[in-house]
Amino acid sequence: NAGVTQTPKFQVLKTGQSMTLQCAQDMNHEYMSWYRQDPGMGLRLIHYSVGAGITDQGEVPNGYNVSRSTTEDFPLRLLSAAPSQTSVYFCASKPGTYNYGYTFGSGTRLTVV
């Protein structure tokens, strides 16, 4: 049981490049979310999904796209990377039937230069 798997763990991008952060969970969780963590700002919600085919915006969605074609996968796409997107990104999932806490991945540390 791997839980929530994020790849890559580290990435350096040049301004303007695009990339996809991968997130997969094997717990059959309905809810999945992407957060970014910046020093002194806690975790801020980027996008979330309550099930396959359903996504919605969080607090800071600009510059990011998501899709949820399967229950297991929830990739986050950076369309045109900017230095302001330098951050640690966490994917998380939880069941939809009860309000359990989230299970988090180990994070992706992204640097945009």
CA dist 62 and 5 (Å) reads: 24
Among 20, 106, 111, 113, binds other proteins (CB under 8 A): 106
Nearer residue to other proteins within complex by CB, 15 or 62 = 62
DSSP helix/strand/coil, 83: helix
CA dist 32 and 17 (Å) reads: 25
Among 60, 105, 110, 112, binds other proteins (CB under 8 A): 105
Segment near other proteins (CB under 8 A); pick from 11-19, 25-33, 65-73, 75-83: 25-33
How near is the Cβ of 102 to other proteins at its closest, in Å?
7
Applying CB under 8 A, does 62 fall inside the site for other proteins? no
Site for other proteins in 63-102 (CB under 8 A): 90, 92, 94, 96, 98-102
| CB contact set of 39 (below 8 Å; sequence gap of 6+) | none
**Contact at 8 Å (CB) between 70 and 87?**
no
Closest Cα to residue 78, out of 48, 37, 110, 52?
A: 110
Interacting residues with other proteins (CB under 8 A): 4, 30-31, 33, 35, 40-45, 48-50, 56, 58-59, 90, 92, 94, 96, 98-107
